[in-house]
């Protein structure tokens, strides 16, 4: 813990005025135990009806036996209702029918012609804010610092520090100019020691690049 900042292994990092923990907000790294999900430190999710299984809530189509992964970076903020629709949700659609015959009945499922091949991983960068009800489609690659608007349906590759909104999600604008974005990616504040990050809070949240450069520990 740094100056009262919770450990990344804390389940419920928000303390209410009465001293109890806010059950609806969790750091996901200690909460999710799923072989196909990787979550970085301090990434949190919030909801008004906390589930027993956060992996199932966030990525309902990602099974233990799924070939693809969901990788989420550090310091991400995942609002209520966000869903990652990973590749195992897909149907084959290059033939005459999309019906998954292999799912039903007692026969073998491996290598059945009605099932698609393995799909791509879904990759979320660091410090990404996913707004309420956003849907992230299979194989999406969302760059560092991206903001995803509420209700957006996001697929493909989103550049670092972009703002996207809509269905399908479109790039509204970049948060900073190219030179600033490149320098932020070089600095990678999310990889600093948490003590340094907390001390640099004003620079990070106030967009003071000069102060952020002075705070860089290496």
Strand order in the sheet with 77-78: 25-27, 44-46, 77-78, 129-130, 147-148, 162-165, 170-174
| DSSP-based helix, strand, coil % in the chain, nearest 5 | 20, 20, 60
Q: Phi and psi (nearest 5°) for 129? A: -105, 115
By the 8 A CB rule, do 51 and 57 touch? yes
Strand order in the sheet with 122-124: 37-39, 70-72, 122-124, 141-142, 157-158
Side-chain half-sphere of 151: how many Cα atoms within 13 Å?
2
Give CA–CA dist 78/45, Å, rounded: 4
Give CA–CA dist 1/24, Å, rounded: 21
Which of 16, 20, 67, 91 is labelled catalytic?
Answer: 91
By the 8 A CB rule, do 125 and 190 touch? no
Q: Is 130 helix (H, G, I), strand (E, B) or coil?
A: strand
91 catalytically annotated: yes
Active site (catalytic) residues: 91
């Amino acid at each position: 813990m740094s100056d009262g900042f919770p450990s990344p292994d804390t389940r419920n990092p928000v303390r209410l005025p009465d001293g109890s923990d806010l059950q609806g907000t969790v750091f996901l790294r200690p909460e999710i135990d799923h072989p196909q999900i990787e979550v970085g430190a301090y990434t949190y999710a919030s909801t008004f009806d906390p589930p027993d299984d956060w992996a199932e809530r966030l990525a309902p189509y990602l099974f233990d036996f799924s070939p693809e992964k969901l990788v989420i970076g550090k310091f991400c903020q995942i609002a209520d209702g966000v869903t990652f629709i990973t590749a195992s949700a897909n149907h084959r659609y290059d033939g005459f029918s999309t019906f998954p015959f292999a799912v039903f009945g007692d026969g073998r499922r491996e290598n059945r012609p009605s099932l698609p091949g393995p799909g791509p991983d879904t990759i979320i960068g660091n410090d990404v804010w996913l707004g309420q009800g956003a849907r992230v489609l299979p194989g999406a690659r969302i760059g560092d610092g991206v903001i995803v608007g509420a209700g957006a349906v996001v697929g493909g590759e989103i550049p670092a520090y972009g703002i996207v909104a809509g269905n399908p999600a479109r790039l509204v604008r970049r948060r900073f100019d190219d030179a600033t974005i490149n320098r932020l990616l070089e600095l990678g504040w999310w990889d600093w020691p948490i003590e340094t990050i907390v001390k640099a809070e004003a620079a990070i949240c106030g967009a003071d690049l000069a102060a952020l450069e002075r705070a860089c520990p290496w």
